[in-house]
Amino acid sequence: MLRILFFLVVVFALGLGFAWLADRPGDLVVTFGGYQYQVTLMVAAVMLAATVAAIMLTWWLVKGIWRSPYLVSRYFRVRRRDRGYQALSTGMIAAGAGDAALARAKKKEAMKLISADQEPLIHLLDAQASLLEGDHEAARRKFEAMLSDPEMRLLGLRGLYLEAERLGDRAAARHYAARAVEAAPQLGWAADASLEEKTEAGRWDEALRLVEAQKSTVQVERDAAARRRAVLLTAKALDTLEADPAGAKAAALEAHRLAPDLVPAAVAAARAAFRLGDVRKGAKVLEAAWKREPHSEVAAAYVHARPGDSTHDRLERAKKLQSLRRNHAESSLAVARAALDAGEFALARSEAEAAARLAPREGAYLLLADIEEAATGDQGKVRQWLGMAVRAPRDPAWVADGYVAERWAPISPVTGRLDAFEWRAPGERLGQLVEPHEEASAPALAPAPLAPPAPAVAAPAAGKVEDAVVEAAEPPAPARSAAQAGPAEVVPAPVPDVEPSGDDDAEARPIRLPDDPGVAPDEEGEDGARKFRLF
């Protein structure tokens, strides 16, 4: 475009010049060799322009003839290169489609037409063809050869990293990722792998610097970078809580500011504040987290903020926490646990039953069993609550990649992924998916009194117990704690009435219940004795 404009400007200037000469007539006289030549000024200007044009044309022709061998060779060289790039492009497409034979053929054709030193993509196509053919050892050698070329180094590290991941060698994969992130922090795969390695080794400061580098290169979004930083700061605070409470408090408070919904950050900040004697600050952090979403770890840290408090003082703190979020299962459970410790069994029972109505799950029924054990010692009622706990949905826990942990951790122990743990209910028990042979009526929250049993169980040799009904006839067994009660332990004894299911010829034999199942009341027999179903 600029050349066209320049050409038009030159033509316009020449036109103006000739028009100016035409308006001003004159003669040009030249005396040479005793002769005098006289022409008009316009003719002299035209002759001058023609001479200049002829000289330029002659120079262009001479230059073209002089450079013709080079131009011809360049034409054929460019044509050959174009054919090579076409073969390379076809080979890369074939490699992406999984056509190993075509990729290998086009690689050979491209190497004949293009020098491998001039086009590094030929090395990549060669390595990809080896991978498609299943020759991983050759592919690794080619990736290692790329490390000597500065232009190909990152590509070689990427290939070696993927090969190490394929073989399950996480140490080698992280080694290659660390080398890549030193040269190019903006590489997402290298930064993530290196971040996992530093986090697993507990090098929190190095991991935090890497997250800042990712944020500065706009590799991750601002919210994602803030979440990663909060997780790392929380892990650092938990790791240094005993040795450096002040530093742990600062790190946890920053993490709580970056991610208010990260419960471990709030708990770590509160515990660090409690250790430093700043109970007010710690309580304020926990109250803010509780208002956002009640959590059992927040309740435990809040209720036990001061180790020297009496059980009734802890009960008052639990009531205060309940006032912040009423009609929530965690609020009722916190008060019920504190009331049980304080010996307020009526309050503990009412709050635990309220929690069971709001969220009927395992923890609420286990707590009711503990309350029943402490208040009355009625083993029948305890077993009934335990049976309901077995059937109820499980309590939420920290889950990452199918792994259930008692405490939060910054990375998954399965995959090493950062911020993998979630607070949710684990997978349901297998026993909850099995329907009993006969559906018993759902018991109310306050179970009916049962005769304390010491049942004896008989079952067919095939091990099927779903239809077995055992009649209790022995005196009550000694009282045990709710934690020990668990599933009922059955001692073999003569059984007057047994209704086994399965093969009638199978020999009945006494069995012991496994750890997981419980015993639930079924119905009364004709003689008024209480019967139980095993499930």
The pLDDT of residue 193: 86
What mean pLDDT is predicted for residues 219-224?
81
Q: Is residue 52 part of a domain?
A: yes
The pLDDT of residue 108: 86
Q: Is residue 428 part of a domain?
A: no
Q: Is residue 527 part of a domain?
A: no
Q: How confident is the model at residue 134 (pLDDT cuts 50, 70, 90)?
A: confident
Query: The tokens of 223 are what?
Result: 């919210």
pLDDT at 501 over 60: no
What mean pLDDT is predicted for residues 489-518?
39
Closest alpha carbon to 348 in 363, 333, 366: 333
The pLDDT of residue 45: 81
Residue-number span of the structural domain to which 52 is assigned: 7-100
Q: How confident is the model at residue 515 (pLDDT cuts 50, 70, 90)?
A: very low
Q: Is residue 33 part of a domain?
A: yes
Q: What percent of the chain has pLDDT over 70?
A: 79
pLDDT at 35 over 80: yes
Most confident of the ranges 73-82, 201-210, 339-348, 495-504: 339-348
The pLDDT of residue 291: 94
The residues with which 399 forms a beta bridge, in sequence order, are 404, 422
The pLDDT of residue 463: 36
Q: Is residue 293 part of a domain?
A: no
Locus of tokens 């309580």:
283
Provide the number of structural domains found in the chain.
1
Q: What percent of the chain has pLDDT over 90?
A: 38
pLDDT at 267 over 80: yes
Q: Is residue 385 part of a domain?
A: no
The pLDDT of residue 507: 39
> H helices of 147-187, where?
153-167, 170-183
What mean pLDDT is predicted for residues 389-397?
93
The pLDDT of residue 317: 93
The residues with which 519 forms a beta bridge, in sequence order, are 534
Cα separation values, 515 from 91, 387, 519, Å = 61, 12, 11
Q: Is residue 135 part of a domain?
A: no
pLDDT at 149 over 60: yes
The pLDDT of residue 116: 65
CA 117 to centroid of chain Cα atoms: 41
Q: At 225, give phi and psi (nearest 5°).
A: -65, -40
The pLDDT of residue 20: 81
pLDDT in tens, 426-445: 875 544 433 433 333 344 44
The pLDDT of residue 117: 67
Q: Is residue 297 part of a domain?
A: no
Among 296-305, 323-332, 361-370, 517-526, whose mean pLDDT is lowest? 517-526
Q: 271 near 249, Cβ under 8 Å?
A: no
Decide: pTM greater than 0.85. Answer: no
The pLDDT of residue 215: 80
Name 380's Cβ contacts closer than 8 Å, sequence gap at least 6.
Answer: 449, 450, 451, 452, 453
Name 435's Cβ contacts closer than 8 Å, sequence gap at least 6.
Answer: none
pLDDT in tens, 453-489: 433 333 333 333 333 333 333 333 333 433 334 333 3
Q: At 474, give phi and psi (nearest 5°).
A: -100, 160
Name 131's Cβ contacts closer than 8 Å, sequence gap at least 6.
Answer: 139
> Starting from the edge strand earliest in sequence, which strands make up the sheet with 469-471, in order?
469-471, 530-534, 519-524
Give the span between the Cα atoms of 268 and 239, in whole angstroms. Answer: 10
The pLDDT of residue 518: 40
